[in-house]
Structure 1
Amino acid sequence: MRSCYLLATSLAASATTAALEVDLPISAKSGDVESDSIAVFYDDSQPLIVGNDGGASTGGIRLFALDGETPLTETAHETPGRTKLVTAVHGVGEKNLVVTIAQPDSFFRLYDASTAEQVGEPLARTLGDWSALCSWKSQSSGEQYLYLFGKKQTVQHLLRENNGTYEIVEIQTFENPIEATSCAVSLSAEAVYFAADDGPEIYTFPVAETTSAPQISVLGKAEDDVTALAAYIGPDSDYILVAENDVIAVYNSSFTQLGSMKMTTDEDIEIKGLNVYQAPTKKYPAGAVTYATKGDSGKGFAVSSLEAAFSGLSLDLNTSYDPRENASSSSSVCSECGLNGFCQNGTSDAGELSCACFAGFDGEDCAKITCRNDCSTHGECVGANICQCEDGWGGLYCAFKVVQPVAETDAHGGDGDDPAIWISPTDKAQSRIITTTKSEEGSGLSVFDLSGRLLQSIDAGEPDNVDVIYNFQAGNRTIDLAYAACRTDNTLCLFEITTNGTLQTIAGGSQPTKDGYKVYGSCVYHSRKSDKQYLFVNAKSAEYLQYELSWADDALQTTLVRNFTGGTGSQVEGCVSDDANGWIIIGEEPRALWRYGAEPDDDSSEGFLIGEVGDGNMYADVEGVTLVEGPSADKGFILVSQQGVSAYNVYRRAAPHDFVETFTIYENSEKGIDGVTNTDGLAAVGAALGDAFPSGLIVTHDDANQLPEGGTSNEASYKLVSLGDVLGEELMKEVDANWDPRA
C-alpha cells in the first residue's frame, strides 16, 4: 500500500455575508428502509433511484421509480445480504449497472439497472469494512473506474466488459487520513471529494488514469459535520453538495459557499446518502435531488425538486447532462501492456512506450501475475492478487488461520457488541454467556447457557460492552456483578449475577458519569495492591474515566478517581484489564492496541504500544479486547478483534507482547453455523468449561447472522469457538485450564 497525502489545507475564504438559505420540501419518499447510500439511473422513460438496504433480515438493494408518488413505487428488491454501499455506472458494455458490495461475503456484485437481474457471478472479493463507494468515467478514455473507501485507505478499480463478461480489476491501493463515509466526483474539477461523518473537513484528490498514488489535501471545512456528499455537473463548472444533517450546502469547486437548501416536511431529519438526477422528468422538469434519510417519520429514500431551490439560490441548471453519453476512446489501457496496465509514451530509458502495471501484474508487458505476500506461503497465486489457500488458511492472502464455530447463541436482539463469560462457582459446565443489544429496539443484556440457549433478557439502556466482576463485597454478602456503560442516559449500569447465572437489579445499579460525557466502551479492574474494585468507561473522544466501586448505605456507589486520554486521541472502545500485572489494555480503533497502568496513581501520559495498524500484523478497526489467563502473570494471551478484515490477533500476555498469530472464523456447514463477518467484540477464557468446552471458550459478535436456508436473520447471534482450536496443543500449555476468577 502506498500513500501520498497532504494535510495542509486549501481552505477558501468564507463569504463575508451569510449564505442564502432556501427551503427544500420533500416531494416523495419510500416506505421504511434502513439506508445510507443512494444512486440514480438516467432513463428516458423511467428514471430510477437505487439504494442500499442495510436491514439484517431484508438487506440487499432496492430500486424505485424516481417519478413516483409517496410511497415511491418499488420496481425491484434484490437480497444478496445486508448491503452498505451502492453506486451507478452508465454505458459499460452497453449496460447501465448497479455496483454493490454485500457485507456478509464482501463480493462486488453487478446488476442490470433495467431488469435488476444480477450480471454474471460475484466479482473481486474485497475483504474489509468498506464505508464509501463512488464511480468516475474518464472523459478522455471512456474507461469506468470505481473508488472504494475503507479504514484510512482507498482502492481504485477498473470496471470493464469483454464480450459480455465483466471484471473488476484493482489498479492501486493508497492511504488516506480518514474513514470516509461519503464521496463524490466532479468532472469539471477532475477530482474526488470525500468526508467522514464525524467531522466538517472535506478532502480531495485528483482523478487520473495512473498507478501513482494521488496527493490528498483538505479542500475546506463545512459549517457542521458532513453526513453526505454529491456533485452537480454544471454547464461550465460543477457544484459540490454537502449534507449537514437536514441542510444541503452548495459550494463551487473552490469551496466558496453559494447557498444552502433546508429540508422541510419532516422533523429531526438526517441525510445519510445524497445524489442528483439532472435531466428533466415528467414530475421534475429541472431535475431532482435524492437522498437516504432518517427522521421522526421513519427512514428510507426521498426526492425533492431542484427547480425552486436552484432558482432561489440563483444557481445555473444543467438539465442536458447525461452520463450515458459516450466519452472519447483514447484509452491508455492498451494491448501492449496486456490490458493489465497503462501505456506511457516516452517513459522508458530509450524514450519508448513503457507499462505502468495494475496491482497484481508485473513485467515489461504486465504479463506476470503476482500476489501480495506470496500468498503468505499458505496458498497458490492463481490470479492478480488472488490466492487459492491451503486447507486451514484464509483471509487476506491466506495469512489467517481458519477455525470454525462449534455452536452459536439463539438469534435474539438487534445490533450487539462485546460479550462476557461468567464462570459458575459450583459447576463450570453451568457457566453463562452474557451479551449486549446496543440498538434502540430491545436494548439490554441477555444470558445464554454454553449450548447457546437463551435463558434471560433484561432491559438496559443500550449497553455496548459487558464485563463480569467477581467476589464483590456488598455489605455482608459476596456477590458477582455484570457491568456495562449504557448509552441511553450515559450511565454506568450494574446488575447482580445470581447463583444460577441470571441477572437481577441491585440498589445503586445506575451510576452517573460527568456532565456532558457520552459513554461508549467499558471494562473492569480489581486492584491486587489495594483490593479495590474499579470501573473504566471511555468516550469516542478517547477520554477514559476511572471510578472506584464501593458499597455504602445498602447500595452501590462510585467515585471518580482518574481520567486520561487513551492512545493518540482518536476513537476508542474495547478494553480489558490484567489484574495480576496491574494493566489496562485498550483498543484505539483506527490506530493501535495500547497498554497503560490500571492503578489510579499510575502515569497515564504515555502508553506502551502493543500493535499498530499497518505494522504487517494489525488491521483496522481495532475493536474488542480480551485476556486469556495463564498459570502465572507472565503466561497467557491477549486477543483483539479487527473489524475491517473479520479477524483476530493473538499476542502474548507478557511484555513486550509478541505477536503470535491471526485467525478468522469461517462457516461450519456441517452444523449449519455461518462464519463471522465485521466482528465487533469478543470474550475468551482458558478454563475448562465441562464437556462442551474442555479447552476453553471464545465468544464473538457476528455482524450478519446468515441463515442456513439463505438470507440474513433480523436478530443477532454470537458464535462459540473452542480456544483450543485457535491456539493448538503447544500454545494451550501456556493457558490455565483450572483458572478460578474467585481465587
Structure 2
Amino acid sequence: MSRLACCLVFVSLILQSFARNANVTLIPAAIGFEADNTAFYYSSSPLLLANDGSAAEGGFRVFDAKRVSQWDEVAHLKTGRSKVAVPVYDIGGRDIVITIAATDSVMRAFEAIGLVEIQNTKKYILSDWSTLCGWRSAISGNSYLFLFGKKMVVQLLVRSQKRQVQILEVQTFPIPIEGESCAVLRDGTVFFSAEDQPLYSFTASESLQAPKIKILTQDIPTFGLAAYHAGSEDFLLVVDSESLHVYDRNLGQKGSVLLTGIPDLSVEGGLSILQSASKGYPSGAFAFAFEGEEDTGVAIGSLQAILAVSHIGPNTKFDPNDKTCRKCTQPISKKCSNNGFRQHGACYCFVGFSGRDCSKVTCQNSCSRHGSCIAPNTCKCAPGRSGPDCSFVAVKAKFETDANGGDGDDPAIWIHPTRPDQSRIVTTTKSDEGAGFAVFDLKGKLLQHMPGEEPNNVDVIYNFTMGAQGTDLTFAACRGDNTLCLLKINSTGLLESVHGGIQPTPEDYEVYGSCTYRSPKSGRQYLFVNNKDAEYLQYELSSTADGTLQTNLVRKFTGGSGGQVEGCVSDEEQGYLFLGEEPEGLWRYDAEPDGSSTGVQIAKVGDGTLYADVEGVTLVPAKNSSDGYLFVSSQGRSAYLVYERAPPHGYVMTFTIVDNEKAGIDHVSNTDGIAAVGNRLNNAFPKGLFVTHDDANELAEGGTAEQASFKLVSLEDILGKQRTAMLGY
C-alpha cells in the first residue's frame, strides 16, 4: 500500500472515530404535552409546530423558534386531539398551516400569519392518520400533501381558487405499512417508514397512476425522517432511539451524532429541520417529539455537529417559498375544468370529479342511495346513515362511562345471575396513569378502580370451580409485568384479589392481547394470550383443592400471517377461536388444545368493507342455535363490522357511533376494544348491550378529554328488531 493510501485510510479512521464520538446536547424546548410530529415554518420570525395528542384541549401548538433555550408558546389551536400540523407555502399568495384531528377526521387550514382558521376549507377524510408531508412540484409549482394512514396514502392538492383555499383529493394508493414518518426531497422522492419497519420510498408525480413503492433497506432503525437541502444536493436525516444520522440520496451514510442531555430519552418521532441561522444555532436546528424521565414534548438540537461530521456545508439561506420552476408546465388543465390532469390528449379526473372534461361532481358509490352528493366525494347522509359514502348505519350511545385512566383499552360485560339490571362493565387501563381495572354500572357510573399492572384485553369467566366452589373471574394480559392477571367477581359485580391471580409467562415473552375459552368437550377452562409477533400461547386454568389458581401451557401457534395481533374471542359452542390481525384481517382457528393450528382467513383488510387496524373482536351467539353475530372494530375507520357467526361468516353490515346531542354524548373515534351480549339487561338495553372504547372523547365545552371513556349502545339499535329477535334471548 502506498504512503498516500495509508494516509487516506488513517484520515478516514479518524473521521469515523470522530463521527462515532460526536454528540449533540438536546434542550427540551417545548414541554408539558405529548407530541408525535413537529414541523418548522420558515419566515423572518420562524415558528415551530407540534401536534398535541395528550392534553384535554388537543389540537396543535405553535412556538417562537427564535429563542435559544425554552421557546415561548405563541398559540394553542384546540381542534381536538391530532397527530399532524404542517406548513404549506404560497397558496394564492399566503402561507397556511394544515392539520387533521383524530376526533372527527376533519382537515383544517389556518393562516400561518395570525393563525386564524380559514373558513370553507374543511375536508372530511375518514381514517386514523399518522403523518403528513408536503411536496411542491418542480415542473408546475403546484403544492401537494401526502397523508399517511393505515397502509395507505392520500395525495391531496392544495391550491387557491377564486381567492379561496381548496383541498382536493387527487388519489389514494396502498403502501405495505402504516407510515409514521416521512420526508420529501426536492426531486419528489418520498421516504417513509415506522418503528421496527423497513425504509421505503416512492416518487411523487402529477399523475393518477399509483406510484411504485420501493423497499430500500431494513437496516436503518427509523423513529423520524427529515430532508436537508444543501445547495443542489439533498440529504436524508434519520433519528433513531439515541442518535441522529445523515445519508445521501443513495443511503450512503455520511455521519452520525449521539443525542445527549435528556435523561431516559425516548424518541417519539416527527423529526424536522430549520435551515436558518439564529442565536445559539448558527447552522440551524432540528426538532423531534420526545418523552424523557421528567418531561414530554419537543426536543431541540443544533445542526452544527451533524453537518460537520457529515462534511456538509451549512445552507442557512434555504427558503421553501422559493419558486420551484421558472417556466412552469401546468398538467392541471382548463380543458379538464381545472379538476384533473391533461395527459396524452385526455383528462384524468381527481377523486370526486368525472366526465370527459372533469366538470361533473361525483361521490363514492353515489352516497349508497342514502344521501346526496354536495361536493367532490362529499356526501350529506340521510338520518340514520353515516360514513364517507353513507353506507354505515349510524347509531347513538345511550350512556358513556365516567372518565378513568389515561389510556383505556378494552371492556367486558358481566351479567348478574339473578338481577340483570345489576350487571357490570369491566374495563382496563393500560397506561401508567390509572393502570388497572375499573367497574361501571349500566349507566356508566364508576363503582370501583382496582390497580393492576397495565392490563390490556379483559374477559369474564363464569362459574369456574375454585376448590369446591363456583366463582366468576376476570382475566386479562397484564403488560406491566408480562403476566396473566385474574381477579374474582363477587356477588355485587365488584373485583377482589384471588390466590394465584398472577400467573407467569415465559421469560422474554411480552404479552399483548388475550381471551378465554371453555371446552364444550372436556369442560376445561383455557386462557389465550398473544404477543405483537402473533405468538399465541394457550394455557389450561385450574385450581388446587384450597382454591389457588394455577396454569399449564398446553399449546403454541402463530396467528394469522404473523402480523401484529391483539383482539380475540372464542365461540365456546362451536369450538372456534376468532382473532384479529391488525394489518391483515380476521381469522378463525380451532380452539381445542389438540386442534389444528392452521387458520382460515374469513375477512381481509382491503376487501372493500374491512379496513386496518383490526382491533376488538366480540361474539353474540344465538341462545338456542348456531346463529349469531361476530363484531369487529376497524380502528382506521372508527367503525364496526358485523359478520355471521356460522361459517362462511358472511358480511352483514357496518355501523358507526355518532353524536347523541340530546344526551350530550359524542361520537366514537379510533375505537379499540369492544364487548357485546344479547341478553335483556334493563329497559335501556332490552335486547342486549354493545360497549366500545372511545380513544378521543370530545368534551361539550370543546377539546378532548385526557382520560378514556367507553360508550354503551343498545344492541337492538345496531342490529334492528328482526335480527335481535332471532337471537332468542
TM-score between both structures, scaled by the size of structure 1: 0.94
In 2, are the aligned partners of 1:56 and 1:81 still within 8 Å (CA)? Answer: no
The residue aligned with 1:193 is 191
1:562 partner letter: R
In 2, are the aligned partners of 1:107 and 1:122 still within 8 Å (CA)? Answer: no
Matches of 1:511 and 1:99, distance apart in 2: 48
The residue aligned with 2:5 is none
Matches of 2:220 and 2:694, distance apart in 1: 37
1:98 partner letter: V
Equivalent runs, 1:271-290 vs 2, <5 Å: 271=267, 272-290=269-287
SS of residue paired to 1:396: coil
The residue aligned with 1:243 is 239
Q: Which moved more, 1:520-529 or 1:407-416?
A: 407-416
Deviation at 1:608, TM superposition (A): 1.7
The residue aligned with 2:486 is 494
Cα displacement string for residues 436-480 of structure 1 (whole angstroms, at most 9, x for unaligned residues): 111111100000000111100000111111000000000022100
The residue aligned with 1:332 is 331
Equivalent runs, 1:324-473 vs 2, <5 Å: 324-328=321-325, 329-344=328-343, 347=344, 353-473=345-465
Match of 1:229 among 217, 225, 232: 225
2:242 partner letter: D
Matches of 1:642 and 1:122, distance apart in 2: 27
In 1, are the aligned partners of 2:245 and 2:306 still within 8 Å (CA)? Answer: no
SS of residue paired to 2:723: helix
Q: Which moved more, 1:271-280 or 1:490-499?
A: 271-280
Match of 2:677 among 682, 685, 705: 685
Deviation at 1:686, TM superposition (A): 0.3
Sequence identity (%)? 48
1:475 partner letter: G
The residue aligned with 1:264 is 260
The residue aligned with 1:303 is 300
The residue aligned with 1:588 is 581
Deviation at 1:28, TM superposition (A): 5.3
In 2, are the aligned partners of 1:429 and 1:692 still within 8 Å (CA)? Answer: no
Cα displacement string for residues 645-678 of structure 1 (whole angstroms, at most 9, x for unaligned residues): 1110111111111111000000100010001111
In 1, are the aligned partners of 2:27 and 2:70 still within 8 Å (CA)? Answer: no
The residue aligned with 2:96 is 97
Q: Provide structure 1 residue ranges, at least 5 long, that are not aligned to the other structure.
A: 1-14, 348-352, 738-743
SS of residue paired to 1:110: strand
1:261 partner letter: V
Cα distance change of structure 1 residues 586 and 28 upon mapping to structure 2, 3 Å threshold: closer
SS of residue paired to 2:537: strand
Structure 1 residue ranges, 4+ long, deviating more than 4 angstroms after superposition: 15-19
The residue aligned with 1:740 is none
Equivalent runs, 1:550-589 vs 2, <5 Å: 550-552=542-544, 554-589=547-582
The residue aligned with 2:592 is 599
Question: Are 2:131 and 1:132 aligned?
Answer: yes
Matches of 2:288 and 2:406, distance apart in 1: 25
Deviation at 1:249, TM superposition (A): 1.4
Matches of 1:423 and 1:554, distance apart in 2: 23
In 1, are the aligned partners of 2:488 and 2:498 still within 8 Å (CA)? Answer: yes
SS of residue paired to 1:303: strand
1:262 partner letter: L
Deviation at 1:417, TM superposition (A): 1.2
In 1, are the aligned partners of 2:627 and 2:727 still within 8 Å (CA)? Answer: yes
Matches of 1:661 and 1:373, distance apart in 2: 16
Matches of 1:665 and 1:727, distance apart in 2: 13
In 2, are the aligned partners of 1:54 and 1:60 still within 8 Å (CA)? Answer: yes
Matches of 1:487 and 1:454, distance apart in 2: 23
TM-score between both structures, scaled by the size of structure 2: 0.95
Equivalent runs, 1:60-139 vs 2, <5 Å: 60-121=59-120, 123-139=122-138
Deviation at 1:69, TM superposition (A): 3.9
Cα displacement string for residues 189-234 of structure 1 (whole angstroms, at most 9, x for unaligned residues): x2000002222x110001111111111101223443x111111112
Deviation at 1:682, TM superposition (A): 0.6
Matches of 2:299 and 2:46, distance apart in 1: 14
Question: Are 2:212 and 1:207 aligned?
Answer: no
In 2, are the aligned partners of 1:67 and 1:284 still within 8 Å (CA)? Answer: no
SS of residue paired to 1:179: coil
Cα displacement string for residues 49-104 of structure 1 (whole angstroms, at most 9, x for unaligned residues): 00100014131111111122432111111101111112121222222211110111
Match of 2:521 among 529, 534, 544: 529
2:462 partner letter: Y
In 1, are the aligned partners of 2:610 and 2:641 still within 8 Å (CA)? Answer: yes
Matches of 2:728 and 2:273, distance apart in 1: 60
The residue aligned with 2:291 is 294
The residue aligned with 2:722 is 730
In 1, are the aligned partners of 2:39 and 2:48 still within 8 Å (CA)? Answer: yes
Q: Which moved more, 1:244-253 or 1:374-383?
A: 374-383
Matches of 1:223 and 1:198, distance apart in 2: 9
Match of 2:472 among 480, 487, 498: 480
Matches of 1:658 and 1:603, distance apart in 2: 22
The residue aligned with 1:741 is none
In 1, are the aligned partners of 2:429 and 2:456 still within 8 Å (CA)? Answer: yes
Equivalent runs, 1:14-93 vs 2, <5 Å: 20-21=19-20, 22-27=22-27, 29-44=29-44, 46-93=45-92
The residue aligned with 1:518 is 510
Deviation at 1:633, TM superposition (A): 4.3
Cα displacement string for residues 303-342 of structure 1 (whole angstroms, at most 9, x for unaligned residues): 2111233113322322221001123343221211111011
